[in-house]
């Protein structure tokens, strides 16, 4: 009954979700206390107080059209609030007419790929990458072309990107801060990537659009900031969500921005709105569009500097504490692991070459993590640290046992 295509996809499945389901099974079997589940990037901190207040206000005093359809692109007020903030941050003339409210970043990415690709077109994906990107690309008949980052720094290599380009290359997918590596791509690296795309594109007579997936832009540590991709690239669509910055992953609310200087940008935007509708999203969830608008209104009413510009009001410091602690435990256990600059993941080297076998071995100690193979980076494993501090602490002995079994020191 199911198509060949779906049958293949099913056989592939998602390693992350398999681990998530395995975690549920293990918790039933061993009890929650003896399972250390680092498999899913499910922000577990409550949304910031402004979000909760906005929801209460809307619940108790709902505007009459709260749950109705609106313009497919979203409510004008929230689109304007977003445009104003981006314009202020970048100095670019970003207007509400280039902001599409989307059902999360995944919706924006799918809509963008739908309008950028014809069947057989190629999309450059930098490894390591978010596990769903190849599926997103294949949804629209595209061909993912994996371009490995430097295995030491996890940074994009402009030379390898240029070398991977063909006349069919239409899109470069960017994701910084990166899931799973936690690396922030620095501005000079992005500039080199832009120049490589332009140079090689000129030789090939093609133009590559950058599709930048930035849900972690506000989740950064050690006082770091993330370069403004809109200030570097022009043929670009930015997709993001409030899943991490406002801890609303289950609500599916985000937005996409078509760069004000993008070639044929008005048609591109109109096509995005149509694709977002016709793929079945129709419009971003109505109530949460208003929630976001009210959060921005409340932020605008605060005195200067009282809140982060980006709206990152979730308690990032608490994620930082957890990052530090889990990194300390892994290092103590003998893992080789960079300290992530952003996002919610540690991405250490697996202690044996076969990361899938290593992840399976870890489950014997009650530890759930995701093999790097799922992210196009075999030999590594991903651990989400958006988890309870107590679980991190309790996991120490289990990691030390893994270290004693597999470690080299």
Burial of 112 (0-12, 13-18, 19+ CB in 10 A): buried
**φ, ψ of residue 387 in degrees (nearest 5):** -135, 165
Q: Which is nearer to a second copy, 164 or 275 (CB)?
A: 275
3-state secondary structure of 13: coil
Cα separation, 219 vs 318, in Å, equals 11
Residues in region 65-84 near a second copy by CB under 8 A: 66-70, 72
Q: Which of 121, 228, 355, 365 binds a second copy (CB under 8 A)?
A: 121
249 binds a second copy (CB under 8 A): yes
44 binds a second copy (CB under 8 A): yes
**Binding of a second copy by 116 (CB under 8 A):** yes
Alpha helices in 103-143 (DSSP H): 105-116, 133-139
Give whichever of 278 and 405 is closer to a second copy, judged by the CB atom: 278
Structure tokens at 136: 């997103």
DSSP 8-state class, residue 222: T
Does 235 bind a second copy (CB under 8 A)? Our answer is: yes
CA distance 166 to 172: 12
- Select from 133-141, 192-200, 372-380, 401-409 the region that touches a second copy (CB under 8 A): 133-141
Q: Which of 97, 287, 331, 363 is the binder for a second copy (CB under 8 A)? A: 287
Q: Could you tell me which of 107, 33, 396, 91 has the C-alpha nearest to residue 255? A: 107
Interface positions, 301-360, toward a second copy (CB under 8 A): none
Stretch that binds a second copy, among 62-70, 90-98, 190-198, 295-303 (CB under 8 A): 62-70
9 binds a second copy (CB under 8 A): yes
93 binds a second copy, rule: CB under 8 A: no
Closer by beta carbon to a second copy, 230 or else 351: 230
- Residue 381, φ and ψ in degrees, nearest 5: -135, 155
Q: Does 262 bind a second copy (CB under 8 A)?
A: yes
Over its C-alpha atoms, the chain yields an Rg (Å, rounded) of 21
Cα 8 to Cα 271: distance, rounded to the nearest angstrom: 30
- Sign of the Cα torsion 267, 268, 272, 273 reads negative
* Binding of residue 4 to a second copy (CB under 8 A): yes
49 binding a second copy? (CB under 8 A): no
Shortest reach from residue 402's CB to a second copy, in Å: 26
164 binds a second copy (CB under 8 A): no
Can you say how many angstroms the Cα of residue 349 is from the centroid of all Cα atoms in its chain? 21
Q: Strand, helix or coil at 345?
A: strand
User: Nearest distance from residue 10's CB to a second copy, in Å?
Assistant: 5
For residue 278, state whether it binds a second copy (rule: CB under 8 A).
yes
Closer CB to a second copy, 13 or 151, in the complex: 13
- Written as six digits, the tokens of 352 are 């044996």
Nearer to a second copy, 242 or 399 (CB): 242
Residue whose entry in the numeric block shows the structure tokens 């990194």 = 327
Residue number with CB closer to a second copy (80 or 139):
139
**CB 216, CB 337: distance < 8 Å:** no
The two tokens of residue 398 are 């289990």
In the list 175, 181, 209, 212, the residue contacting a second copy (rule: CB under 8 A) is 209
> Rule CB under 8 A: is residue 201 a binding residue for a second copy?
no
The reply on whether position 274 binds a second copy by CB under 8 A is yes
Out of 29, 64, 301, 408, which residue is the one contacting a second copy (CB under 8 A)? 64
């Amino acid at each position: 009954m199911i198509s060949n295509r779906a049958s293949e996809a099913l056989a592939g499945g998602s390693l992350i979700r398999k681990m998530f389901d395995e975690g549920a099974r293990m918790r039933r079997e061993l009890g929650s206390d003896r399972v250390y589940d680092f498999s899913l990037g499910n922000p577990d901190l409550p949304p910031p107080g402004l979000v909760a207040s906005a929801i209460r206000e809307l619940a108790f005093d709902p505007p009459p059209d709260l749950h109705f359809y609106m313009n497919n692109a979203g409510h004008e007020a929230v689109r304007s609030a977003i445009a104003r903030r981006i314009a202020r941050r970048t100095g670019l003339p970003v207007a509400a007419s280039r902001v599409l409210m989307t059902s999360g970043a995944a919706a924006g990415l799918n809509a963008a790929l739908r309008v950028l690709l014809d069947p057989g077109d190629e999309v450059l994906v930098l490894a390591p990458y978010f596990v769903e990107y190849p599926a997103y690309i294949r949804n629209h008949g595209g061909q993912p072309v994996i371009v490995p980052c430097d295995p030491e720094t996890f940074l994009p290599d402009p030379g390898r990107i240029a070398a991977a380009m063909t006349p069919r290359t239409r899109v470069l997918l960017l994701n910084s801060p990166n899931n799973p590596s936690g690396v922030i791509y620095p501005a000079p690296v992005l500039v080199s990537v832009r120049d490589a795309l332009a140079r090689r594109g000129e030789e090939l007579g093609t133009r590559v659009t950058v599709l930048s997936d930035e849900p972690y832009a506000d989740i950064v540590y050690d006082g770091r900031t993330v370069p403004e991709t809109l200030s570097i690239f022009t043929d670009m669509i930015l997709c993001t969500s409030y899943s991490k910055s406002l801890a609303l992953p289950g609500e599916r609310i985000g937005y996409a921005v078509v760069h004000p200087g993008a070639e044929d940008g008005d048609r591109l935007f109109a096509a995005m709105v149509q694709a977002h509708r016709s793929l079945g999203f129709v419009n971003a969830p109505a109530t949460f569009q208003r929630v976001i608008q009210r959060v921005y209104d409340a932020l605008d009413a605060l005195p200067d500097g009282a809140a982060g510009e980006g709206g990152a009001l979730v308690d990032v410091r608490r994620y930082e504490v957890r990052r530090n602690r889990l990194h300390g435990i892994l290092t103590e256990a003998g893992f080789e692991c960079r300290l992530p600059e952003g996002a919610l993941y540690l991405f250490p080297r697996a202690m044996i070459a076969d990361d899938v076998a290593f992840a399976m071995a870890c489950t014997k100690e009650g530890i759930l993590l995701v093999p790097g193979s799922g992210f196009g980076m075999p030999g590594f494993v991903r651990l989400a640290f958006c988890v309870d501090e107590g679980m991190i602490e309790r996991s120490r002995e289990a990691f030390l046992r893994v270290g004693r079994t597999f470690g080299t020191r």
